[in-house]
């Protein structure tokens, strides 16, 4: 897979959202002191990390919501540009951003179907009318307010996060600390949610094989950029009732 293919897709989606807002994209970044109140690049707040996750939103854990986490090295920049997008939409549409406070964080909700999918392309195909909040150096998007609340609670130390789990920490040591792409799945945690993503026949088959499926407890896939291409590393932890062993390490 060529690196420039992803860049071209990114450029395409940014041109689409610029057209929606009725603005011209800038080829070069402009110093922030000179661009207040002027037509600017609304997307330069996005940093080098974008994450997607499924967050349980009920006690049983069988109901989960998608969350997108976008790194922003400049929190002020992110909030400023998102506010500018909001103002542009207000000028072009009767749609309004609603907002409320939770644990000293502002959560905003845009009732404009498909906007954030246009904003980030195929990545946001699971997002319909998402809410978002700026949390430390990240902008968090989700369809579900409970998921956003949980992310804020984790940040405030009220809930545990994944790096606090010793099993995950041990598993993560098998990968590079920095990469272009990293996928992690804890199958026993994810399993209650999987049947809802499948047709009835496939869901029935999956339930019959729950013991086997959940034996693959942890799955990790990492992509690393090398000379314009990506190399892949896959590790699967297989833990049947009799013990645990590493099944794949490629």
Report the alpha-carbon angle 169-173-177, nearest 5. 105
User: Which of 102, 137, 155 finishes a domain?
Assistant: 155
Average pLDDT over residues 119-131: 67
Q: What is the pLDDT of residue 57?
A: 81
Residues in the chain, total = 250
User: Which of 103, 121, 155 finishes a domain?
Assistant: 155
Q: What is the pLDDT of residue 35?
A: 46
| Residue 210 tokens, joined | 């729950």
**pLDDT value at 175 more than 90:** yes
Domain count within the chain: 2
52-66, 171-185, 230-244, range with greatest mean pLDDT: 171-185
**pLDDT value at 172 more than 90:** yes
Same domain, 8 and 47: yes
pLDDT bucket at 29, cuts 50 / 70 / 90: very low
Same domain, 151 and 39: yes
| Residue 144 tokens, joined | 């579900």
Same domain, 140 and 172: no
Same domain, 138 and 39: yes
User: Which of 129, 155, 181 finishes a domain?
Assistant: 155
Owning domain of residue 73: 3-155
Q: Is 127 in contact with 116 (CB distance < 8 Å)?
A: yes
Average pLDDT over residues 23-28: 51
Q: What is the pLDDT of residue 5?
A: 56
Burial of 188 (0-12, 13-18, 19+ CB in 10 A): middle
pTM (whole model) above 0.85: no
Same domain, 12 and 109: yes
Same domain, 124 and 170: no
Same domain, 148 and 229: no
Residue 174 DSSP code:
T
Same domain, 27 and 135: yes
% of the chain at pLDDT higher than 70? 68
pLDDT bucket at 31, cuts 50 / 70 / 90: very low
Q: What is the pLDDT of residue 88?
A: 73
């Amino acid at each position: 897979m060529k690196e420039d293919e992803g860049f071209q897709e990114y450029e395409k989606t940014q041109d689409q959202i610029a057209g929606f807002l009725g603005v011209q994209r800038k080829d070069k970044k402009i110093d922030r002191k000179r661009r207040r109140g002027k037509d600017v690049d609304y997307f330069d707040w996005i940093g080098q990390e974008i994450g997607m996750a499924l967050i349980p939103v009920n006690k049983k854990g069988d109901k989960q919501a998608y969350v997108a986490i976008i790194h922003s090295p400049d929190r002020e920049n992110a909030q400023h540009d998102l506010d500018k997008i909001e103002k542009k939409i207000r000028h072009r549409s009767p749609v309004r951003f609603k907002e409320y406070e939770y644990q000293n964080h502002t959560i905003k909700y845009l009732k404009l179907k498909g906007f954030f999918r246009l904003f980030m392309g195929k990545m946001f195909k699971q997002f319909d009318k998402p809410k978002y909040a700026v949390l430390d150096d990240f902008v968090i998007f989700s369809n579900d307010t409970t998921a956003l609340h949980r992310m804020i609670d984790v940040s405030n130390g009220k809930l545990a996060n994944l790096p606090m789990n010793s099993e995950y920490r041990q598993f993560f040591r098998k990968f590079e600390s920095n990469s272009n792409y990293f996928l992690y799945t804890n199958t026993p945690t994810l399993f209650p949610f999987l049947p809802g993503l499948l047709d009835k026949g496939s869901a029935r088959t999956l339930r019959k094989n729950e013991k086997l499926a959940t034996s693959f407890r942890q799955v990790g896939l990492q992509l690393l950029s090398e000379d314009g291409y990506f190399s892949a590393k896959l590790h699967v932890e297989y833990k049947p009732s009799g013990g645990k062993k590493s099944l794949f390490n490629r």
